[in-house]
Amino acid sequence: MANSNLPRRIIKETQRLLSEPAPGISASPSEENMRYFNVMILGPSQSPYEGGVFKLELFLPEEYPMAPPKVRFLTKIYHPNIDKLGRICLDILKDKWSPALQIRTVLLSIQALLSAPNPDDPLSENIAKHWKTNETEAVETAKEWTRLYASGE
């Protein structure tokens, strides 16, 4: 369906993602729909998500690159900017999107968000509150969730 008439940009980006993947990130298009990507991000070292393998889905809407890709975590994750449905609060996925950004840059930004949770701009109120009142404990929970849900099996 969407595979016919795939814009050159998407083809090029896909080729580059497969040939030179960014460190700790893998993204491959689904066979049925070249606009749908299965993504894996490794938890960054020195973050509570270290050692975890996080699955995400990424979809390029019809308007891409004039509109941002839709990205969502499939793996459960304890993070103040990610809600229980896996939706991500990240400016470049909303109003700060620029068509000059790419799938690669979006995924790198998400990886960076794992290293630097921002409880001041929360998506999950409860997790953000936990983070602000007792960071050590919140980080422990995040590590626990990484062990439980993102151990890569």
Partner 1 sequence: MDLLSLKEHNTRSLLIHYRWDVEKLLTVLVEKGKDELCAEAGVTILEHEELVSTLIMCTICFEEVPANSATTMDCGHIFCNSCWTEHFIIKINEGQSRRIICMAHKCNVICDEEIVRLLVSARDPNLADKFDRFLLESYIEDNRKVKWCPSVPHCGNAIRIDDNDLCEVECACGLTFCFKCSSEAHSPCSCLMWELWSKKCQDESETVNWMTVHTKPCPKCFKPVEKNGGCNLVSCICGQPFWYEYIENDLLGSLKWTSHSIAPYMSDGAGKASELTDCQGL
12 vs 84, which CB is nearer to partner 1?
12
| Nearest to partner 1 of 34, 101 (CB atom) | 101
| C-alpha 109: how far from chain center | 8
Surface-to-core class of residue 108, CB atoms within 10 Å of its CB (0-12 exposed, 13-18 middle, 19+ buried) = middle
Which one from 53, 89, 92, 108 is the annotated catalytic residue?
89
Query: Residue 100 interacts with partner 1 (CB under 8 A)?
Result: yes
Q: CA angle, 23 as apex, 22 and 26 as ends, to 5°?
A: 60
What span, in angstroms and rounded, lies between the C-alpha atoms of 142 and 69? 26
Stretch that binds partner 1, among 51-59, 98-106, 121-129, 138-146 (CB under 8 A): 98-106
Does 9 engage in binding with partner 1 (CB under 8 A)? yes
Q: Is residue 86 annotated as a catalytic residue, yes or no?
A: no
CB nearer to partner 1: give 4 or 8: 8
Residue numbers 38-77 binding partner 1 by CB under 8 A: 63, 65-67
DSSP-assigned letters across all residues of 98-122: -TT--HHHHHHHHHHHHHS--TTS-
How many CB atoms are closer than 10 A to CB 61?
12
Q: Which of 33, 45, 94, 99 binds partner 1 (CB under 8 A)?
A: 99
Positions marked catalytic? 89
